Structure 1
Amino acid sequence: MKNILVIGFSTRNIVCSGKRAGYNMFAIDAFCDHDMLECAKATIKLHTGESFDARNIEPCSLTEQIESFGTEFDAIIPASGFETMEFPGSLPVLRNDHDSMEQVSDKSRFAKLLRSLDLPHPQTYALSELESITYPVMIKPACAGGGIFNRVLYSQNDLQPYLESLDKLHISLKKEDMIVQDYLIGTPASVSVISTEDEARTVAINEQLIGTPWLTKVPFAYCGNVTPFITPYADQMKNIAEELIKELGLIGSNGVDFLMTRDGPVIIEVNARFQGSLDTVEMSTGSNIFEAHMQAFEGNIRLKEPSKRQYAARAILYGNRDKEITSNIQRKILERYIADVPKTGDMMHIDEPLTSVLSTGRSRGEVISEAKSSVMFIRECLEVDTSRRGSPRTESTYV
């Protein structure tokens, strides 16, 4: 296989990993970031409206986009938001089968599986049970949303204001699209796994940055990773993740999200696809996750002994105002070690991802310090550019 088409809302990390592995990468992507364009042979911008919902895309429109490349693809890889979509034609689609995806995405079914395996998982409730449960609880979309719409309910009275806030954002989520779980305190983490039908092997254990105040004002937004995550529960997490991936029959690059509580690791969810931690895993270990994914679909796990053993961070910076990216802003941003680089003319919006800051070093403290320095630099560049253009907006920054 040589020509690979990746389809998803955000594909940059997959496309660039594939290029580094020697593949000809093509993408249909909602952002078409500057660095993704440099890695891809060709791209087409994905238009889904404000909802970022793949269900809004007509199959015939997607077929036309695929055919417009004029390339004979060897395979399609679905990325974020397209994990369960049916693709036209007879091309191989390198993803998990429909039944496995259903078992992962159906939160009620997933919770029952974990109970049958005696694996720790937050108690999950239906919205009809809110009168009889103990608060606080976490409410969130049943399908992934990067944590942006996750909130804590401290009483039943908090439900209606939460639903109204979604309506104001034009988010088309119904009550049946939401789940409620016990609200647990701990450190978010994940285990990155490569698996075949017969074997599952951990590549890395990662800390997750969630709702990090110097990156976002959104309480539970996904803000990146630090790899490795050092914990006395590492072996337990590794064993749980590998057992669960094999039980689910998942193939390729998959991840298990945990919350490290004072009582030990609790499973939050399974990401049956490439994960946002791909960057830090590759920077920390020297492995190429795209190549490992491709080999796994051939029935092989060919992970070399890590060529690097260092800390790596990816810190996703969110916008604190609506902002057009000027050539000056892009030029200044590119002075730092970053990814997901917006193009000149792109409009970035408040509380949406702006760019990703990357860093490597000998300790967690070192990579976090370097990431914070880059974030401060980018924030200052945005403020200077705004003042020169005479913008009337006066919101303060938050770093």
Structure 2
Amino acid sequence: MRRRADRPLRVLVVGQNVRHIAASASRAGHRVFAADCYNDLDLSESAFRSILLGADPSIPGDLGRSAELIIREVVEGDLIDRLVLGPGIEEMKVGGVEVLNNPPEKISLVSDKLWLGRWLEREGFPGVPTHPLGEEGDHRGFPLMVKPRKGAGGVENRLVFTEEELAEVAGDLIVQEMAVGTPASVSVVADGEGAVAISANEQLIGTEWLGGSGFRYCGNVSPLDPSIDASAVGDMMDIGEEIAIRLGLVGSNGIDFVITESGPVVLEVNPRFQGSLDAVEISTGMNVFQAHILSFDGSLPDRPKPRGFGGRGVIFAKSDIKIGADLRTVTASIADVPRPGTIAKRGDPLSSILSFGEDWKGAMDLLKRRSWAVYRAFRL
């Protein structure tokens, strides 16, 4: 029987970028070992021990091989009680330690956007027609959204406007009808049988003042803008809970939506920690990592009441740059702080800025001012 996490645990968090997960675990009082591809300043300061993975995530399998070496070292050395697999390696199979993730087979299945689209349709959830590339079926017309069957962050998502453009696209891709509305997500904590939606969040997608473009994920504001129909938000949270229950998910999970004129439409299910973690914790005061751990013992939180609006914006480099100083000299409300000497290429995620506001506009305006301050200071 699993023991409830009512005492500090020794936890390894490993993946491509794990600062948000490791920092939450540290705030919950756990002894955190962290390993990722950046080892940012604030990661090393929040963790008991942080390790830079010698991996290039763009090389297939390289991240997994590097992570496996670290996992083997800490498990064989009896240095940890629990393991959390972060971005890029959630589907890894690991023995010898309790892994606080959804089962890898389930993550693989749910992360397949083609499988999910068909599952949503069978289960009667509001979704968008989804087909494999080359078998588009009947659709309402262009534009159509083309995206990888697996993948996160929206970097490779694109619109096609004609049959000719569609014919030029190749790869293991899916085609969806374009849903127009407000990009949103629901953060859900589940225990395999029940689920609680802890926050409904606005998604910042392709945000130009953060250096984003296209459909790239650029952050969140939590909760959603209150001008959005409250009934639609309530429906979205109910749908998120029901999806997590029917899929038998455990821990922290995210469901992506678009709130259209006719109501919320489900786009994706992310059976893992989400980028919205910072904004949700700022807004609610809740520790998401602790809720995640407790869910594996069958203990779910009450739905928290927001105490304000939390924001996280991902700053992307607008040109090639070498970081010459600690970015915290510009603003203290910054996370994912690269080490001086880090080289970032145009389009790379550089750091994150955080904000809190008593209202939605206050949180959003503060994100904008802080992003502009970073860009001005470093001429990005």
TM-score, normalised to structure 2, is 0.91
Q: Distance in 2 between matches of 1:235 and 1:305?
A: 14
Q: Distance in 1 between matches of 2:252 and 2:243?
A: 14
Match of residue 316, structure 2, among 318, 341, 346: 318
Q: Distance in 1 between matches of 2:302 and 2:137?
A: 50
Counterpart amino acid of 2:49? A
Q: Distance in 2 between matches of 1:209 and 1:62?
A: 30
Q: Does 1:241 align with 2:240?
A: yes
Match of residue 213, structure 2, among 209, 214, 218: 218
Kept in 1, the 8 Å contact 2:196–2:303? The answer is: no
Q: CA deviation at 1:195?
A: 1.0
Identify the residue that residue 354 of structure 2 maps to in structure 1: 358
Q: Distance in 2 between matches of 1:337 and 1:35?
A: 11
Alignment of 1:229-378 (within 5 A): 229=224, 230=226, 231=228, 232=230, 233-303=232-302, 305-306=304-305, 309-327=307-325, 330-333=327-330, 335-378=331-374
Alignment of 1:153-192 (within 5 A): 153-159=160-166, 175-176=171-172, 178-192=173-187
Q: Distance in 2 between matches of 1:304 and 1:184?
A: 29
Alignment of 1:76-87 (within 5 A): 76-87=83-94
Q: Distance in 2 between matches of 1:67 and 1:51?
A: 23
Match of residue 11, structure 1, among 1, 12, 18: 18
Q: Distance in 2 between matches of 1:108 and 1:34?
A: 38
Counterpart amino acid of 1:320? K
Q: Distance in 2 between matches of 1:267 and 1:140?
A: 15
Q: Does 1:198 align with 2:193?
A: yes
Counterpart amino acid of 1:203? I
Q: Distance in 2 between matches of 1:211 and 1:106?
A: 23
Kept in 2, the 8 Å contact 1:287–1:303? The answer is: no
For structure 1, the 5+ residue unaligned runs are 164-174, 384-396
Counterpart amino acid of 1:41? F
Q: Distance in 2 between matches of 1:93 and 1:80?
A: 14
Alignment of 1:25-104 (within 5 A): 25-49=32-56, 51=58, 53=60, 55-57=61-63, 59=65, 61-69=66-74, 70=77, 72-87=79-94, 89-104=95-110
Counterpart amino acid of 1:139? V
Q: CA deviation at 1:217?
A: 4.0
Kept in 2, the 8 Å contact 1:332–1:378? The answer is: no
Counterpart amino acid of 1:360? F
Kept in 2, the 8 Å contact 1:218–1:351? The answer is: no
Counterpart amino acid of 1:66? I
Q: Distance in 2 between matches of 1:375 and 1:57?
A: 30
Alpha-carbon deviations, 1:20-79, whole Å to 9, x = none?
Answer: 0000111120111111111111122223325164x33464x5443234455521111011
Alpha-carbon deviations, 1:200-241, whole Å to 9, x = none?
Answer: 111010000000111124211101000111332121111111
Secondary structure at the counterpart of residue 17 of structure 1: helix
Kept in 2, the 8 Å contact 1:310–1:360? The answer is: yes
Alpha-carbon deviations, 1:176-219, whole Å to 9, x = none?
Answer: 2x211111211100111111122111101000000011112421
Kept in 2, the 8 Å contact 1:227–1:284? The answer is: yes
Give the superposed CA RMSD: 2.0
Report which stretch shifted further, 189-198 or 9-18: 189-198
Q: Distance in 1 between matches of 2:336 and 2:295?
A: 27
* Cα distance change on mapping 1:56 and 1:159 into 2, 3 Å: farther
Kept in 2, the 8 Å contact 1:77–1:95? The answer is: yes
Q: Distance in 2 between matches of 1:67 and 1:244?
A: 34
Secondary structure at the counterpart of residue 185 of structure 1: coil
Counterpart amino acid of 2:374? I
Q: CA deviation at 1:303?
A: 4.0
Identify the residue that residue 3 of structure 2 maps to in structure 1: none
Report which stretch shifted further, 210-219 or 278-287: 210-219
Report which stretch shifted further, 111-120 or 126-135: 126-135
Kept in 2, the 8 Å contact 1:122–1:267? The answer is: yes
Secondary structure at the counterpart of residue 128 of structure 1: coil
Secondary structure at the counterpart of residue 45 of structure 2: helix
Q: CA deviation at 1:331?
A: 4.9
Q: Does 1:145 align with 2:162?
A: no
Identify the residue that residue 119 of structure 2 maps to in structure 1: 113
Q: CA deviation at 1:160?
A: 6.8
Identify the residue that residue 20 of structure 1 maps to in structure 2: 27
Q: Distance in 2 between matches of 1:255 and 1:323?
A: 33
Secondary structure at the counterpart of residue 179 of structure 1: strand
Counterpart amino acid of 1:64? L
Kept in 1, the 8 Å contact 2:35–2:52? The answer is: yes
* Cα distance change on mapping 1:347 and 1:86 into 2, 3 Å: same
Q: What is the aligned residue count?
A: 366
Secondary structure at the counterpart of residue 188 of structure 2: strand
For structure 2, the 5+ residue unaligned runs are 1-7
Q: Distance in 2 between matches of 1:109 and 1:135?
A: 23
Identify the residue that residue 170 of structure 1 maps to in structure 2: none
Alignment of 1:382-393 (within 5 A): 382-383=378-379
* Cα distance change on mapping 1:296 and 1:325 into 2, 3 Å: same
Secondary structure at the counterpart of residue 23 of structure 2: helix
Q: Distance in 1 between matches of 2:10 and 2:266?
A: 36
Q: CA deviation at 1:320?
A: 0.5
